[in-house]
Amino acid sequence: MYVQRKTISARVGITGIGLHSGIYTRLELHPAPAGSGITFVRSDLDGLRIPALQASTTALDYATTVGRDDVSVGTVEHLLAAIVACGITDLDVHIDGPEVPIIDGSALPFMHLIDAAGSRHLGDKIPVLRITEPIEVSDGDKSIRIAPANRLVIKYRIDFEHPSIGREAFHFDFQQDNFLRKIAPARTFGFMRDVEKLRAAGLARGGTVENCIVLDDNGVLNGPLRFKDEFVRHKILDLVGDLALIGRPVIGEITANRAGHALHSRFVEKILRASEAEAAAAPASRRRAAESFA
Ligand SMILES: [Zn+2]
C-alpha cells in the first residue's frame, strides 16, 4: 500500500519563542524533492541537515528533540503532527535556533501555515507501514500498543490526580475524524508545581499563559479550555508527531494508557525494529512487492 508523496507549493514562515529554551527562532518551511523526507535545516549553522527520523531522536517526558552531532532542534512534535496530518511527506524545515517556536501550544498555527503555502503532489509514492503483529511497550502502569487494522486509529487514556483533569479518554479515527477540528487546536499543558524544577533543568523557560494551559493545584489558571477533554486530545497530537519519526505513514489500531514522549519514543523504536525484522525474513520475491511491510 502506498500514498502519494506531497510537499508544499511555496515558502512560508513563522517566528516565536521556544517553550523550553525561551529562545526566539525563525522557522521557514521550504518545498523539498520527492524522497527527501522531512528534514530540519539549521540555517544559523551552515544549513546543517537533521532528518526527522527516530534514529536522530532523543525524547524526554516533556518534549521530543532531533539532533546530529552536538546540534539539535527541540520540541518538534507539534510541528511534525501538523506536517503529517496535512499529508506532507517531503519538506525542509529551516530554523535559525535550537527549538521550534511553541506559538499557542497547539498544532493549529502550523496547519494554517501549511494551508497558506498550499501543497502539491510529487508524482512519486511512499510505502505505508502496515502493522501485521501486535507490538507493545510498557513502563509500570503506562503502556502503548498497536494492533493490525485497515486504517490508523488512536485510543488514548490519561489519568492525572488533578481536579481539572482526572480520567480522560479519546478515540480518533484518521479516516473518519477531522484532525484540524478535533486534535490540532488542543494545547500543551503544564503544572505550576513543576515550574521551578523544570526551569532549574533548563526547561519551560519560554512557557507563559499565552502558550500553554497552566494548572495550579486547584484548577486551570488561564481558562477557558478549548475542549473539556483538551488534555487527552493534546496527548494524541503529541503521539501523532512522535509517530512521524517513523518516516512514513503507519496503519494500525493504537491503544495508549498514560504514556508520554519517552514511551512514545520506545514504541516507535520497537515498531521500526519489527518492520526491519519482517523485511529481512520475507522471501526476496515477496520483499520487492511488499516493500511497504504491508
Ligand atoms: Zn505537546
Question: pLDDT tens across 122-143, in order?
Answer: 999 999 999 999 999 999 999 9
33 preceded by cis ω (within 30°)?
no
Q: What is the average pLDDT across 179-194?
A: 96
pLDDT in tens, 6-43: 999 999 999 999 999 999 999 999 999 999 999 999 99
- Which neighbouring-strand residues pair with 4? 125
Cα angle 213, 18, 21 (rounded to 5 degrees) comes to 110
Q: How far is the CA of 101 from the centre of ligand 1 (A)?
A: 12
Which element (helix H / strand E) includes 294? none
- Phi, psi angle pair for 149, to nearest 5°: -160, 170
- The pLDDT-based confidence of 60 (bands split at 50, 70, 90) is confident
- Phi, psi angle pair for 173, to nearest 5°: -110, 115
Q: What is the per-residue pLDDT for 58?
A: 85
Q: What is the average pLDDT across 70-90?
A: 97
Q: What is the per-residue pLDDT for 92?
A: 98
pLDDT at 289 > cutoff 60? no
More confident residue, 171 or 69: 171
Q: How far is the CA of 3 from the centre of ligand 1 (A)?
A: 27
- The pLDDT-based confidence of 183 (bands split at 50, 70, 90) is very high
pLDDT in tens, 255-287: 999 999 999 999 999 999 999 998 898 876 555
Q: How far is the CA of 291 from the centre of ligand 1 (A)?
A: 32
> Directed axis angle between helix 77-85 and helix 230-243, to 10°?
80
pLDDT at 294 > cutoff 90? no
Residues belonging to the active site: 261
pLDDT in tens, 112-123: 999 999 999 999
Q: What is the per-residue pLDDT for 99?
A: 97
Q: What is the per-residue pLDDT for 163?
A: 93
pLDDT at 293 > cutoff 50? no
- Which neighbouring-strand residues pair with 99? 74
Q: What is the average pLDDT across 228-241?
A: 98
Q: How far is the CA of 188 from the centre of ligand 1 (A)?
A: 5
Q: What is the per-residue pLDDT for 188?
A: 97
**Comparing C-alpha atoms, which of 86, 243, 34 is closest to residue 152?**
243
Q: How far is the CA of 181 from the centre of ligand 1 (A)?
A: 17
pLDDT at 2 > cutoff 60? yes
- The pLDDT-based confidence of 234 (bands split at 50, 70, 90) is very high
Q: How far is the CA of 137 from the centre of ligand 1 (A)?
A: 20
CA dist 172 to 1, 4, 163, 188, 233, Å?
A: 22, 23, 25, 18, 9
Q: What is the average pLDDT across 143-150?
A: 98
In angstroms, rounded to a whole number, what is the distance separating the alpha carbons of residues 239 and 242?
5
The pLDDT mean for the chain works out to: 94
pLDDT at 288 > cutoff 80? no
